[in-house]
Chain A
Amino acid sequence: AQSVSQHNHHVILSEAASLELGCNYSYGGTVNLFWYVQYPGQHLQLLLKYFSGDPLVKGIKGFEAEFIKSKFSFNLRKPSVQWSDTAEYFCAVNGAPGGYQKVTFGTGTKLQVIP
C-alpha cells in the first residue's frame, strides 16, 4: 500500500525565514501529488498539486513544490514565511498502487511562525 512520510512534525520559524517541508511517498509509478493546508479553525484547502508536466509547481500564497521522481519526493517551499502561514500542512498522494480513487495523506506538519 502507498504511504506518505512527512518527517517534520512541528516546525517553528521566524517571519521572513525560508520554509521547506519534506514529503516522501513509498510507491513509484504514476501518481498525483497534493499539498493541503489547514489554517486554525478553517477547512482544509488545496495549496498546490502536481499531475504531470513541469515538476516545479506553484500554488497559492507564494508556495511552490518540486516533484523529484527519483527521490519519491514532493517537498513544499516558500522563500519567506509570514505569521499568517501558521497552519498545519498535509501532503497527499493518489494513484499507484491503490488506484486514483484512493488518497493517502501524510501525518501533517504543524508550522508556527513567530512574528
Chain B
Amino acid sequence: EAQVTQNPRYLITVTGKKLTVTCSQNMNHEYMSWYRQDPGLGLRQIYYSMNVEVTDKGDVPEGYKVSRKEKRNFPLILESPSPNQTSLYFCASSDRGSNIDTQYFGPGTRLTVL
C-alpha cells in the first residue's frame, strides 16, 4: 500500500531533550516536506527536500533540522525542543521535485514539549 508513515504518532517530552521524528514513504517520491499545524495558523512549511542530499528551508525552519540521506526517509530533528514547538507535525511527499504536484501526507505526530 502506498503510504507515508511517521513515528512516533504521539510524543511528550521536556524542554531541551533532543528528539527525532521519522518519516518514510514507499512511493519512490523525489520531494518530501515537513509541516506544522497550529490552531488558527493552518499548515506552515518547515523544511522541504527536492531529492537526496537536497534540502531547503520553508517558512518556519528555526529550531529544526532535517536530513535526506536516502530517498525514502526524511527525519525531522529538534536539537533542543522548546514549548513553542508543541504542535501537530505532518510529513508529506510528492513525485516531482521540480514542480510539486499532489502531496501525500502522513498521519501526523502530535508533539508536546513541557
Contact = CB atoms under 8 A, between A and B. Distances in A.
Interface of A: 1, 4, 6, 9, 32, 34, 36, 43-46, 49, 51, 90, 92, 94, 100-108
Contacts of A103: 33, 45, 48, 100, 103
Interface in B56-114: 56, 58-59, 90, 92, 97-103, 105-108
A105 B42 CA distance: 7
A108 B38 CA distance: 10
Contact of A102 (B42, B58, B92): B58
A108 B33 contact: no
Q: Per DSSP, are chain A's interface residues mostly helix, strand or loop, or mixed? A: strand
A92 B41 CA distance: 13
20 contacts: A6-B42, A32-B99, A34-B102, A36-B103, A43-B105, A43-B106, A43-B108, A49-B102, A51-B101, A90-B42, A94-B99, A101-B56, A101-B97, A101-B98, A101-B100, A102-B58, A103-B33, A105-B42, A105-B44, A105-B45
A44 B56 contact: no
- Interface size on B, as a range, is 20 to 34
Contacts of B100: 32, 94, 100-101, 103
A102 B45 contact: yes
Nearest to A2: B59
Contacts of A6: 42
